[in-house]
Amino acid sequence: MTNQQIRVVQYGLGAIGTGVVRLASRKAGMRIVGCVDVNPDLIGKDAGEAAGLDQALGVPVLGSIEELARGGRDESADVAFHCTGSHLQEVHEQLVEIVRAGMNIVSTCEELSFPRRRNPQIAAQIDALAREHDVTVLGTGINPGFIMDTLPVALTAMCADVRKIRVSRIVDVGTRRRQLQAKVGTGMSVDEFQRRASTGRMGHIGLQESLLGIAEALGWPTDDLHHSLEPVIAHAPLQTEFFGIPAGHVAGLRERTWLEQDGEEVLALELQMRVGAPEPGDTIVLDGTPPVTVKVDGVQGDISTQAIVVNSARRVVEAPPGLATMMDIPPVSLAPTAAGA
């Protein structure tokens, strides 16, 4: 790997984006040279201040990539960390703008993780535009992007054959941020949960992307795809820092997506995100030759997503141009921390 400094633009200063700024500012060979957010309360502030750092970064938050380009600040930026939205439809234009400005992209947009199947047109357009501008666009994060897709696929390297794959992720959201607790329905009545679920406003974004990413990597057919989403009910009252959950109300959700072949389940991803989950952790079971079981403890979604974004920067700068997934690039690994940081 080269040791050249990576010049970073941060796009989006929400919970993940501010964490990315704080982490990137501590990394050796990485410098934040620009920052964009649409929030008027942040525009004009120093990016360090806006991200909750106790030192200024000397970089003002601007309202758009266009403004950044006008200031001439982005001219030599290598990569934009894009952390604004989960759906490709809503962030598509932002991605196009960044690519046109000549920057590589590492994005936490969940639907960008493995976009070729569910959003083929946008994926093809971004790929063509990225090639035209000689940059790489990568969607990543801990989930989707790594723990329920890239890691299981990478583990199949050890197998002579694999008949079935089962991946399970159990997250205790009780100690996590309010937004995440709200997202999984914490404290809702079951009726409210079901009403929202029926309009597609509940559930994790990216689980089907993970499933399709695995299937694509292994060449498995995806015709017989299934999905379920149900609330996890609190049997006794529960309390988090942000929500009270009466007994009988929702403590979180259990989402499942799976593929069948000849009526048999061959690939299943299950995600539980709930307050008070008894055994949080990640389990990957490869029913193959040899049979392999992997148990991962300690992954923390927000921190690990911020980490994987920052750690991906060098790979994305070095990758051939186009739209890439985590399965198209060499393994991302820890970026070194600056001395004294």
Q: Which stretch binds a copy of itself (CB under 8 A): 124-132, 204-212, 216-224, 255-263?
A: 216-224
Nearer to a copy of itself, 54 or 160 (CB): 160
Q: Judged by CB under 8 A, does residue 114 bind a copy of itself?
A: no
38, 53, 96, 159: residue in contact with a copy of itself (rule CB under 8 A): 159
Give per-residue burial for 280-292: e unless 16+ CB within 10 Å, then b: bebbbbbebeeee
113, 186, 210, 306: residue in contact with a copy of itself (rule CB under 8 A): 306
15, 256, 299, 322: residue in contact with a copy of itself (rule CB under 8 A): 299
Q: Judged by CB under 8 A, does residue 23 bind a copy of itself?
A: yes
Q: Judged by CB under 8 A, does residue 172 bind a copy of itself?
A: no
Q: Which stretch binds a copy of itself (CB under 8 A): 4-12, 38-46, 108-116, 212-220?
A: 212-220
54, 72, 93, 160: residue in contact with a copy of itself (rule CB under 8 A): 160
147, 170, 277, 323: residue in contact with a copy of itself (rule CB under 8 A): 147
Tally Cβ neighbours within 10 Å of residue 162: 20
Nearest Cα to Cα of residue 200 among 87, 82, 83, 85:
87
Q: In what order do the strands lie in the sheet with 104-107?
A: 61-62, 30-36, 6-11, 79-82, 104-107, 136-139, 322-324
Q: Which stretch binds a copy of itself (CB under 8 A): 50-58, 244-252, 270-278, 295-303?
A: 295-303
**Encoded tokens for 106:** 């590492």
Nearer to a copy of itself, 83 or 308 (CB): 308
Rg (CA), the chain: 20
Cα-Cα end-to-end distance for the chain: 22
Do 260 and 224 contact (CB within 8 A), yes or no? yes
Q: Judged by CB under 8 A, does residue 307 bind a copy of itself?
A: yes
Q: Judged by CB under 8 A, does residue 310 bind a copy of itself?
A: yes
d(CA 103, CA 111): 20
What lies within 8 Å, CB to CB, of 16 at 6+ separation is: 83, 108, 302, 305, 306, 309
d(CA 111, CA 118): 8
Do 15 and 326 contact (CB within 8 A), yes or no? no
The least distance separating a copy of itself from the CB of residue 305, rounded to whole angstroms, comes to 9
Q: Judged by CB under 8 A, does residue 329 bind a copy of itself?
A: yes
304, 313, 316, 317: residue in contact with a copy of itself (rule CB under 8 A): 304
Do 80 and 10 contact (CB within 8 A), yes or no? yes
The least distance separating a copy of itself from the CB of residue 201, rounded to whole angstroms, comes to 29
The least distance separating a copy of itself from the CB of residue 23, rounded to whole angstroms, comes to 5
Q: Judged by CB under 8 A, does residue 52 bind a copy of itself?
A: no
Interface residue list for a copy of itself (CB under 8 A): 23, 26, 142, 146-147, 150-151, 153-162, 217-219, 288-300, 303-304, 306-308, 310-312, 327-334, 336-337
